Structure 1
């Protein structure tokens, strides 16, 4: 069932849509266009489709191309980086998807995936952990071959084990008085699959002289809702997070997931009509920082000097310890929502290069999406697999044995791709884990 749109039922900001002058400079940056060569799978093609739906020239029907091409969009926002006109493509996409989800009926499997798993399981760590247990068990027992191919491929993304959520509500600085009070956003996926990354982050912050608080009552950032066309639900959780962190009185609010970080920083746009909350929203957004971004802002001179000394000692000792991070060929993958949505590319590289030194290798097409894109690898597995293979091919050419990135979805997607390619020896690390390991190695002498 679908409905055509009329001019009386607008969902797009027409001025934002008309900012696209169809110059085509975005085409080379769009992962799906690079794969298909189809104009409708490009940013300017999709903007045209969005406007055609709004004007009633195209109807919403899941069996025809408008929905197919808009669904196929990763939402990576690489086009925003390339666009000379400053088109706010991410906003246009989210409003279009919100309209679509409220004015069309999807096939039953897509409804189950989107309405149940993506909206009612993934955003809740307790439910997510419970849902992941059978997947992890089947992998351990090597029973995934008994499953249908599409289920087996989805389970390849699951880790070999779930991590305990042992992040304390308060972790005091190792130095007193503390330099400041940092709030940590736990997220939905991170506590279940990457709890150790949060622990590593807290160790680093405490060592640098900061108290860390993890406020109770925080919820999903809203990214999963916004990307799947449920903007009202995204607004609800945004309001709750703003209130929770307002009471926590943090100087800075850190996030370890690039996809979540971009949503958190855009709460102002998401809640632009909630004028009563605006002062708190502005305060919240001004404090949100990605971990790698913040590390460069506050400085980490003591560790940097230790890294320089460690690199010098390693090079002076000839072969040294081949397992040392300071002697390991390392590359960096740009998470889309850090590079394109937040404009942060150099800061994480500086951190990685401080450890790897001359062993750092730049990754070709590092800014091109790996195919994870939140829940995209579940809703669009075929295109996600193509982009995954493209990414793994580039990683293989670097001959690096460590890939560092800043987003949990990217880690899972790249790990699964490396395993599929028989490259299990290549380790994929979150930048906080990478720095925590390097600091421990450097400081022990």
Structure 2
């Protein structure tokens, strides 16, 4: 934690109403400026790593809503990314559940195998409510986040190469993701169809695995670097853009240059790779549409995924892409800047706070009476789906674009 970064904070409080944990608790230590104060104490050797320090750093979602809200330009993203590895080194929380999470979620094959058992559990049709109530909160959260999915969908594969409709305008590579390819293969399929319809040759490189997002956001930096190197190797060169349809993954991949800046073998490759990363809505906003759009008559509530809006500063592009669909009416959501509580694996490691935030987000979304909820992140899709009980469809924006191009409607 660099002193010069800590000293930028003047403790003005503009961050407070944007911070989910402060909004929930009103506790100063649960705010960005409170956490910066703790970091400053630790940097001066006046507070130990562990105990209260670890508790308040762990409770931060890393949503980064405080960054665009700060008038002083505090780089809280750099501060929290420096604090978490220090905890991993000096006061690791090596719990069985934490080991399970990081042994499962970054590995699509393992996650798919676990998901098969989850689907079979769902097919039983009877939830052991009394038993579930006795389980730890983390185990209950894991059970409740499993989306309705068919076994055959778990094994769907994105085509290795898809040719464009008409003349090629771009040659792009697609990150198929971890949870994305297992639980949201339909989003990947929609992404490929839309990009092909808009004149892109789409390649899904084989051998790609986790991009390192979960590890980086949890302070497991060396593990994140290992995943980053593997991703760079798997994708290779020869693309105009590297397309991502998961906000957290895109945010991390755009940081590869910084993540691998001390690696002489990968430094230049990582910077070149990061410069080509585009969220799918970002790329679609750059490309003047050529595929005709059919009407999708729907009121759409767009939820800003934190790592798209706050880390990548992409807010206008998804709205531009959705607004270009005939019949779509975008509606504003109250407390739009407050995180839904997903935040990578936060909803598993901090289930109580995540549940409060999930219910709050679902209530705000319900208040606008939308026909469809759209959000550009797999974790948000799972989290919002968990707490939305009125049957409102929850989709990725690219699925609505796909429905418009294909003329299949929104539902």
- Class of the TM-score when normalised by the shorter of the 2 chains: over 0.9
The superposition leaves residues 70-115 of structure 1 with CA deviations (integer Å, 9 ceiling, x where unpaired) of: 1110000001111122222122112211111121143xxx622222
* Larger Cα-atom Rg: 1
Alignment of 1:40-189 (within 5 A): 40-61=29-50, 64-106=51-93, 111-117=95-101, 119-141=102-124, 142-145=126-129, 146-147=131-132, 148-149=134-135, 150=137, 151-162=139-150, 163=153, 164-176=155-167, 178-189=168-179
User: In the TM superposition, what is the alpha-carbon distance from 1:152 to its structure 2 partner?
Assistant: 3.2
SS in 2 for 1:403: strand
**C-alpha distance in structure 2 between counterparts of 1:219 and 1:154, whole Å:** 22
User: In the TM superposition, what is the alpha-carbon distance from 1:144 to its structure 2 partner?
Assistant: 4.1
The superposition leaves residues 244-296 of structure 1 with CA deviations (integer Å, 9 ceiling, x where unpaired) of: 32x24111100010011100001112112124423212211111000001100
SS in 2 for 1:138: helix
Q: Which residue of 1 aligns with 2:247?
A: 258
User: In the TM superposition, what is the alpha-carbon distance from 1:406 to its structure 2 partner?
Assistant: 0.1
Q: Does 1:431 align with 2:397?
A: yes
**C-alpha distance in structure 2 between counterparts of 1:356 and 1:19, whole Å:** 46
Q: Which residue of 1 aligns with 2:378?
A: 408
Alignment of 1:242-321 (within 5 A): 242-245=232-235, 247-303=236-292, 306-307=293-294, 310=295
SS in 2 for 1:254: strand
Q: 2:10 aligns with which of 21, 24, 36?
A: 21
Q: Does 1:327 align with 2:318?
A: no
Contact 2:322–2:328 under 8 Å retained in 1 = no
Number of aligned positions between the proteins: 401
Alignment of 1:207-218 (within 5 A): 207-218=197-208
Query: Which one has the bigger helix percentage?
Result: 1
Q: Do the aligned partners of residues 356 and 259 (structure 1) sit closer, same or farther apart at CA in structure 2, a change above 3 Å counting? A: farther
Q: Which residue of 1 aligns with 2:324?
A: 354
**C-alpha distance in structure 1 between counterparts of 2:36 and 2:61, whole Å:** 14
Alignment of 1:336-347 (within 5 A): 336-347=306-317
SS in 1 for 2:219: coil
- TM superposition score normalised by structure 1: 0.86
**C-alpha distance in structure 2 between counterparts of 1:87 and 1:201, whole Å:** 35
User: In the TM superposition, what is the alpha-carbon distance from 1:357 to its structure 2 partner?
Assistant: 4.3
Q: Do the aligned partners of residues 356 and 405 (structure 1) sit closer, same or farther apart at CA in structure 2, a change above 3 Å counting? A: farther
**C-alpha distance in structure 2 between counterparts of 1:75 and 1:105, whole Å:** 18
**C-alpha distance in structure 2 between counterparts of 1:432 and 1:327, whole Å:** 16
The superposition leaves residues 162-201 of structure 1 with CA deviations (integer Å, 9 ceiling, x where unpaired) of: 523321111111214x222110011111110011111111
Q: Which residue of 2 aligns with 1:223?
A: 213
**C-alpha distance in structure 2 between counterparts of 1:133 and 1:56, whole Å:** 49
Contact 2:141–2:347 under 8 Å retained in 1 = no
Contact 2:243–2:279 under 8 Å retained in 1 = yes
User: In the TM superposition, what is the alpha-carbon distance from 1:60 to its structure 2 partner?
Assistant: 2.9
Q: Do the aligned partners of residues 301 and 208 (structure 1) sit closer, same or farther apart at CA in structure 2, a change above 3 Å counting? A: closer
User: In the TM superposition, what is the alpha-carbon distance from 1:136 to its structure 2 partner?
Assistant: 2.7
Unaligned residue ranges in structure 1 (runs of 5+): 1-11, 311-325
User: In the TM superposition, what is the alpha-carbon distance from 1:358 to its structure 2 partner?
Assistant: 6.2
SS in 2 for 1:398: coil
Contact 2:212–2:228 under 8 Å retained in 1 = yes
